[in-house]
Amino acid sequence: MTQKPDAALTAVFDHIDANRESFLSRVMDYVRYPSISAHDIGIGEVAALLVDMIGQIGLDVELIPTTGHPMVVGRWNKAPGAPTVLLYGHYDVQPPEPLEAWISPPFEPTIRDGRIYARGIGDNKGQHFAQLMALESHMKVHGRLPCNVIVLLEGEEEIGSPRIADFIATYRDRLKADFVVTSDGGMHPSGLPTMTYGVRGIATFELRVRHARRDVHSGNFGGVVPNPIWTLVHLLGTMKNAKGEITIEGLHDAVIPPGALEKAAAARLPLDLPGVMSELGLSRLDAPADRPFYDRLMFHPTLTINGLHGGYGGPGSKTVLPCEAFAKCDIRLIDNQTPADVLAKVEAHVKRHAPEVEFVYGHGMLPSRVPMDTPWAQILRDAITTAQGVAPLEYPSMGGSLPDYVFTKTLGIPAFVVPYANADEANHAPNENMKIDCFYNGIRTGAALLDRLGRPSM
Amino acid sequence: MTQKPDAALTAVFDHIDANRESFLSRVMDYVRYPSISAHDIGIGEVAALLVDMIGQIGLDVELIPTTGHPMVVGRWNKAPGAPTVLLYGHYDVQPPEPLEAWISPPFEPTIRDGRIYARGIGDNKGQHFAQLMALESHMKVHGRLPCNVIVLLEGEEEIGSPRIADFIATYRDRLKADFVVTSDGGMHPSGLPTMTYGVRGIATFELRVRHARRDVHSGNFGGVVPNPIWTLVHLLGTMKNAKGEITIEGLHDAVIPPGALEKAAAARLPLDLPGVMSELGLSRLDAPADRPFYDRLMFHPTLTINGLHGGYGGPGSKTVLPCEAFAKCDIRLIDNQTPADVLAKVEAHVKRHAPEVEFVYGHGMLPSRVPMDTPWAQILRDAITTAQGVAPLEYPSMGGSLPDYVFTKTLGIPAFVVPYANADEANHAPNENMKIDCFYNGIRTGAALLDRLGRPSM
């Protein structure tokens, strides 16, 4: 299964091996700087640090302002005829609170048991720093990169990437690449590398209903005054049936069913179903019962009621007939659904079945899916296998939503997620960490990818 | 329509007219004493006052202790061959707070615009004081009562009558009467007198469901982890359909449909539907749409969701898949439904349709309904008409629930509600009041009833 490195890559691997201590010490220096986007702390300093660092490596670099935090963009375009890879990451980190839960302070990187502990080490500084060290290693060993590279580091990922879509659309011409690799998130708990081809999109909405002007007595008015909770119950019952099928007219129209490759890939993924159910305390999976586990997360839209509230919720009973209720919902979208189309269909459904219910638009994000037979997937697969000695697990999609559509739809190029961090990196939590071995494997993987992209077979 | 009083009653009416000022001053003295059951204030003093007052009128009287506040029971049984009426009332009052909302202090009775303002004047001291003055007037004029009378005054009505059912069952033999009259609540807003033949019962329950051990991410687990709100939505959808029909198996089995008299009586009741809807801000009545207004409140059980809560309820959206939800419900019962039977049927329905949902029993109260053709109704109707010069509006039932079953089912005798207070008495609210005319009409009505019960036609 292992791909043997060529001589050029072997030399880079040797350089990486020889500089392990230095890379470790430098990444620990990097995460010492806080860059908390939510609190606007340290963003400018870390952006400047990156500009300096990327320039030192030998790339052209610019800091592109937005109406929020700036984008750091590095570029190497001196490999004519070779492909261009866009490496995306983010230099902002989550707030470190609660501080008292950290064993060592979040911005004093500390090594324990083969792991670096620091806020941002896994999410995402350690991961994009590994990419930068891969670039640096190639430059140091060969004086050049084997392919063209764009580095894009965002400073607002942890506050929801509010400006990435506009940025990508605006700078579309300067971000021309053949494909995108995002190294973020965690690998499989077994330690196997993974690559992911897509994400589900999302569309959120709220249903609100009010009947009477005020709450009334259930005896004096029960049977006379309509109950908004019943109105929601009956409306929601028309939107998804007890068999678990979403029954909103037209909602599935745009869904592209999985192809043979995707179905096969999902079926190949390891699954410890009893373990998952036991950890979550579940006695059954959600309806419909007959769907394979990963199909549920990858190939089907969902309609989740995030919350429903109306009337009395305190202890004991209160014989009230409430006057208002609301439900907050999200729909996870499958390529080629769009939030605009899906929300329009939900709104039309609501108007048809319960016109007295107010439909409130929420937010949305497009789904994204890369065909598994794209040649860039094979290159990435080869590079991971060469660098880590084992083939990656391949996820046709993840269940959650990330703005990958800015690459696949706005730029029109494939986008993959290849996490470098360990599964238990504790991102967004106290004691965030990255295994030192994962960090080195990340540098090796980045280096192998650059090498593979420079080989004439491309 | 007016029944002409006989000579004996005319004499009593004359006595009442001659003593208006004295009755007014005495009722104001009576409501000066607080007797707040919720705060255990003044109960003993007012109970003692009543014992003294009823004894002075000439009845046998006893204070019967309970595990809570005592019952005051007066008795006149020196009219052999004549019927016995049980006059029920309560001597406890609501707490007066918020004090700052009272124009005159709650326990300093004040007359303004033909009304007495004081806590308890309408609910219920002024009303049962009027009954006592009717008794006293008969005794003063004729030296005796024309029929047998039991006066039962409770001290815990405002805290839910927790001991009335046990008390009635225990003292059943000493409370033998032919029928019961409760003078409480308000007359029709037009000022017309009313008499009510029944109440709906009630049964409450809660549905609780939990699936996962904790809330999870709607992207990472949507489609995999069951959603307890959807479980409740689908279960509730099997309990009442969108047409407004309760679909719990067997729930209606015991319902006695209204007879011709009841339907006709309900149809005769005055109704300002546009006014009701406008006051409540309603654009439609509850489903089913084809039911007459009063039928909804009198002849049909209801299934009200008092509250349903699960998941996120804050501002904006949160893409959570919640792990637990609950619904609190009440069912208003129609004679001959019982809380035990109805709750057993709901529980069986829940077990059949959603065995993973926990069913939690709440509390219950039996319904009560007196046949409208009972001869006691005619007597009461005659008495009201004679005293007030106009026939009462007759309500086959009220929509709410009161423990009238203790009379109709435990004692097995008809029980009627004949309010003496004006509709805007502001009971349970600041500035509680009773129109002085209503107070006098109450005394006259009580006197006419006693007279009517003593006439040989009985």
Residues of A in Cβ contact (< 8 Å) with B227: 286, 304-305
Residues of B in Cβ contact (< 8 Å) with A296: 223-224
Arithmetic mean of pLDDT over chain A: 96
DSSP class of residue A239? H
Domain with residue B229: its CATH number is 3.30.70.360
Q: What is the ipTM of this complex?
A: 0.92
- State the pLDDT at residue B2: 52
Contact A222 B356 (CB under 8 A): no
Residues of B in Cβ contact (< 8 Å) with A286: 223-227
Determine the residue among B206, B210, B227 to mutate to test chain A binding: the one whose Cβ has the most chain A Cβ atoms within 10 Å: B227
Judge contact between A308 and A326, C-beta under 8 A: yes
- In this predicted structure, the answer to whether residue A458 has a pLDDT above a threshold of 80 is no
Element (H, E) at A375: helix A375-388
Task: Say whether both A189 and A243 belong to one domain.
Answer: no
- State the pLDDT at residue A4: 84
Alpha helices for B72-227 (secondary structure H)? 126-142, 164-170, 218-221
- In this predicted structure, the answer to whether residue B457 has a pLDDT above a threshold of 70 is no
Judge contact between B178 and B416, C-beta under 8 A: no
**Across the interface, which of A280, A297, A313 has its CB nearest the CB of B212?**
A280
A226, A217, A311: which is closest to B398 by C-alpha? A217
Residues of B in Cβ contact (< 8 Å) with A324: none
Residues of B in Cβ contact (< 8 Å) with A399: 219-224
**Across the interface, which of A285, A306, A401 has its CB nearest the CB of B224?**
A285
Both tokens assigned to A244: 């678990």
Tell me whether A67 touches chain B (CB under 8 Å).
no
A-B CB pairs within 8 A amount to 244
Q: Which of residues 20-49 of A touch B (CB under 8 A)?
A: none
Q: How many domains does chain B have?
A: 2
Judge contact between A205 and A359, C-beta under 8 A: yes
Beta bridge partners of A361: A205
Contact B296 A223 (CB under 8 A): yes
Q: What is the dihedral of CA B249, B250, B252, B254, to 10 degrees?
A: -170
Domain boundary among B336, B365, B394: B365
B203: nearest CA in chain A?
A319
Both tokens assigned to A282: 């579940």
Judge contact between A296 and A201, C-beta under 8 A: no
Contact A219 B332 (CB under 8 A): yes
At A186-213, the pLDDT tens digits run 999 999 999 999 999 999 999 999 999 9
Domain with residue A88: its CATH number is 3.40.630.10
Question: In three state form, how does the secondary structure of B189-218 look?
Answer: CCCCCEEECEECEEEEEEEEEECCCCCEEH
* Domain span at A217: 201-255+301-365
B384, B417, B432, B431: which is closest to B122 by C-alpha? B432
| Phi and psi based region of residue B428 (left: phi greater than 0; alpha: psi -120 to 50; beta: remaining) | left
Residue A314 lies in a domain: yes
Q: How far is CA A185 from the centre of its chain?
A: 7
Angle at A271 between CA A269 and CA A273, to 5 degrees: 155
Residues of B in Cβ contact (< 8 Å) with A216: 280
Residues of A in Cβ contact (< 8 Å) with B285: 224-226
Tell me whether A310 touches chain B (CB under 8 Å).
yes
At B39-57, the pLDDT tens digits run 999 999 999 999 999 999 9
Arithmetic mean of pLDDT over chain B: 96
Residue B340 lies in a domain: yes
Q: Exposed (0-12), middle (13-18) or buried (19+): which is B224, by Cβ within 10 Å?
A: buried
Contact B304 A227 (CB under 8 A): yes
Confidence category of residue B1, pLDDT binned at 50, 70, 90? very low
B330: nearest CA in chain A?
A319
What mean pLDDT is predicted for residues A228-254? 98
Beta bridge partners of A326: A208, A309
Q: Using only C-alpha atoms, what is the Rg of chain B?
A: 25
Beta bridge partners of B36: B41, B93
Judge contact between A307 and B311, C-beta under 8 A: yes
- State the pLDDT at residue A327: 98
DSSP per residue over A90-155, as a string?
E--B-----GGG-SS-TTS-EEETTEEE-TTIIIIIHHHHHHHHHHHHHHHHHSS-SSEEEEEEES
Element (H, E) at B268: helix B260-268
Task: Say whether both B395 and B422 belong to one domain.
Answer: yes
Confidence category of residue A3, pLDDT binned at 50, 70, 90? low
Contact A219 B285 (CB under 8 A): no
Task: Say whether both A157 and A215 belong to one domain.
Answer: no
Q: Specify the range with the lowest mean pLDDT, choosing from A155-159, A348-352, B74-78, B350-354.
A: A155-159
Residue A272 lies in a domain: no
Residue B22 lies in a domain: yes
Length of chain A measured in residues? 458
Residue A446 lies in a domain: yes
Task: Say whether both B104 and B164 belong to one domain.
Answer: yes
Contact A223 B297 (CB under 8 A): yes
Place of tokens 């080490």: A121
Residues of B in Cβ contact (< 8 Å) with A237: 233-234, 237, 242
Determine the residue among B269, B295, B304 to mutate to test chain A binding: the one whose Cβ has the most chain A Cβ atoms within 10 Å: B304
Tell me whether A239 touches chain B (CB under 8 Å).
no
Q: Report how far residue A179's alpha carbon sits from residue A404's, in angstroms, rounded to the nearest whole number.
A: 11
A259-269 burial string, b = 16+ CB within 10 Å, else e?
eeebbebbeeb
- State the pLDDT at residue A1: 42
At A246-286, the pLDDT tens digits run 999 999 999 999 999 999 999 999 999 999 999 999 999 99
Q: Report how far residue B396's alpha carbon sits from residue B371's, in angstroms, rounded to the nearest whole number.
A: 8
What mean pLDDT is predicted for residues A337-361? 98
Q: Report how far residue B89's alpha carbon sits from residue B126's, in angstroms, rounded to the nearest whole number.
A: 10
Q: Report how far residue A382's alpha carbon sits from residue A390's, in angstroms, rounded to the nearest whole number.
A: 10
Tell me whether A399 touches chain B (CB under 8 Å).
yes
**Above pLDDT 90, what percent of chain A?**
97
Tell me whether A311 touches chain B (CB under 8 Å).
yes
B282: nearest CA in chain A?
A212
Contact B304 A319 (CB under 8 A): yes
Tell me whether B317 touches chain A (CB under 8 Å).
yes
What mean pLDDT is predicted for residues B245-271? 97
What mean pLDDT is predicted for residues A166-176? 97
- In this predicted structure, the answer to whether residue A425 has a pLDDT above a threshold of 50 is yes
Q: Report how far residue A225's alpha carbon sits from residue B286's, in angstroms, rounded to the nearest whole number.
A: 5
B214: nearest CA in chain A?
A280
Contact A332 B296 (CB under 8 A): no
A202: nearest CA in chain B?
B219
Q: Report how far residue B31's alpha carbon sits from residue B109's, in angstroms, rounded to the nearest whole number.
A: 7
3-class secondary-structure state, position B122: helix
B196, B168, B201: which is closest to B182 by C-alpha? B196
Residue A123 lies in a domain: yes
Domain boundary among B365, B389, B413: B365
Domain boundary among B313, B341, B365: B365
A218: nearest CA in chain B?
B304
Question: CA torsion sign, B285 to B291 to B294 to B298?
Answer: negative
Residue A281 lies in a domain: no
DSSP per residue over A439-451, as a string?
HHHHHHHHHHHHH
Task: Say whether both B34 and B135 belong to one domain.
Answer: yes
Q: What are phi and psi of B220, to 5 degrees?
A: -70, -25
Q: Exposed (0-12), middle (13-18) or buried (19+): which is A219, by Cβ within 10 Å?
A: buried
DSSP class of residue A392? P
Contact A400 B227 (CB under 8 A): no
Task: Say whether both B227 and B91 belong to one domain.
Answer: no
Task: Say whether both A402 and A315 belong to one domain.
Answer: no
Judge contact between A199 and A219, C-beta under 8 A: no
Tell me whether B236 touches chain A (CB under 8 Å).
yes
**Across the interface, which of A225, A281, A320 has its CB nearest the CB of B282?**
A225
**Across the interface, which of A218, A297, A325 has its CB nearest the CB of B304?**
A218
Task: Say whether both A205 and A148 belong to one domain.
Answer: no
Task: Say whether both B184 and B148 belong to one domain.
Answer: yes
Beta bridge partners of B398: B199
Determine the residue among A199, A209, A216, A225 to mutate to test chain B binding: the one whose Cβ has the most chain B Cβ atoms within 10 Å: A225
Contact A218 B293 (CB under 8 A): no
Contacts 24+ apart (CB under 8 A), A112-118: A114/A435, A114/A436, A114/A437, A115/A422, A115/A433, A115/A434, A115/A435, A115/A436, A116/A24, A116/A27, A116/A28, A116/A31, A116/A433, A116/A434, A116/A436, A116/A439, A117/A431, A117/A432, A117/A433, A118/A28, A118/A31, A118/A32, A118/A432, A118/A433
Both tokens assigned to B120: 């308890």
Task: Say whether both A32 and A93 belong to one domain.
Answer: yes
Residues of A in Cβ contact (< 8 Å) with B363: 317
Both tokens assigned to B433: 């009041």
Task: Say whether both B188 and B57 belong to one domain.
Answer: yes
Residue B134 lies in a domain: yes
Task: Say whether both A24 and A160 belong to one domain.
Answer: yes
- State the pLDDT at residue B4: 84
